[in-house]
Amino acid sequence: MEWHWIGCTYWLISLKEGFTPANDPNVLSAWTPSDSTLNNGFWSQYLRAYFWAIQVTTGVGNNVTPVSDTEYMFSIVAVVVGVLMYALIVDTPEGKKRRRIEAVKEYLRQRNVSEELTDQIIDYYEYCYTRHISNFDEQMLEDIHSGLQEQLQLEMNQQLLSKQFSNHFLFSTKQHRPLPKKKSKVPRFKELPDQLLLILIHSLVSRIYLPNEVVFLIGERASEMFFVVRGDLEELDPNGKRLEWHTDGSFFGDTIFKPHARRGSTIRCIIHCELLILTKAALRVNLTNFLIISLNL
């Protein structure tokens, strides 16, 4: 819409200022169009005016050279409008997201990646942007005081380890989501002091899983525990029958507390899932270090 009005105003000013003679050697860089366009039809003239508006506001194409004060004033207005359009439309998080995704699409297209795999990759990017998962988000609060960072980490993550989980939906609008069972707490973590919880939180590793991706298989050695930040997963028996449903706020894999334990079921993602992972090795090291520090106090 802005380009329409800029183009129309440009044409009116050109009519007032006078068109550039077609035989002028500087006709291509002149501010007003060639007088030969006066013989063109309406749509031909409109397209030239519209193109001029796009050219000036975006800074692409040939440089235009204003001559009169009116031309200078209107050119300044058009450039300012272009800057504002870029700031309000193009240089927004949504605009950056679209440019990043289009760049990825073009990269994959040039390398003849299959359409199916391309769609999966784009879906992954879409999910990450929806959840604000990126390097920028990780760096967003890195400058705040370390004490505030620790409080933030506790508030954001301690409910997954020790506090009451969020109430799950009594019903769901998703056809594939059955009624999940309520889980109250992770029993082994509910009495831990905040200092140890903070240490464990720093040990959590975030990972995104794709739809139909298997988190672990039955029979595998249990070396990790998982907390569901967001997503839907199903727990399957050896015959592929669903045993349990895991969704936002639930946890699974706590067999890591048993020595030499192996997985008794298979966990598979239904949709994109964001999980926090606590490894047995990290748990052992942190508990040992915390115990040593506590004994020395």
Distance of alpha carbon 269 from alpha carbon 280, whole angstroms: 22
Query: What are the CA-CA distances from residue 248 to residues 43, 121, 123, 241 (Å)?
Result: 56, 23, 20, 21
pLDDT of residue 33: 77
Under CATH, which number does the domain 145-296 receive?
Answer: 2.60.120.10
Looking up tokens 């409109």 gives 46
What is the signed CA dihedral for 173, 249, 127, 276, rounded to 10 degrees?
A: -160
pLDDT of residue 168: 33
- Going from N- to C-terminal start, the domains of the chain cover 2-90, 93-130, 145-296
pLDDT of residue 142: 63
pLDDT of residue 215: 96
Per-residue tokens: 55: 């050219």
User: Do 275 and 226 touch, CB atoms closer than 8 A?
Assistant: yes
3-class DSSP assignment, residue 84: helix
Tens digits of pLDDT across the chain (297 residues):
778 888 888 888 888 888 877 777 766 667 777 777 877 888 888 888 888 788 888 777 666 777 788 888 888 888 888 888 777 766 566 777 777 888 888 888 888 888 888 888 888 888 877 776 655 455 555 666 666 766 766 676 666 665 433 333 333 334 444 444 434 456 666 666 777 777 788 888 889 999 999 999 999 999 999 999 889 999 999 998 999 999 988 889 888 888 889 999 999 999 999 999 999 888 888 777 776 655 554
- Write the DSSP assignment of 27-51 as a string of letters: TTTBSSPBGGGGGS-HHHHHHHHHH
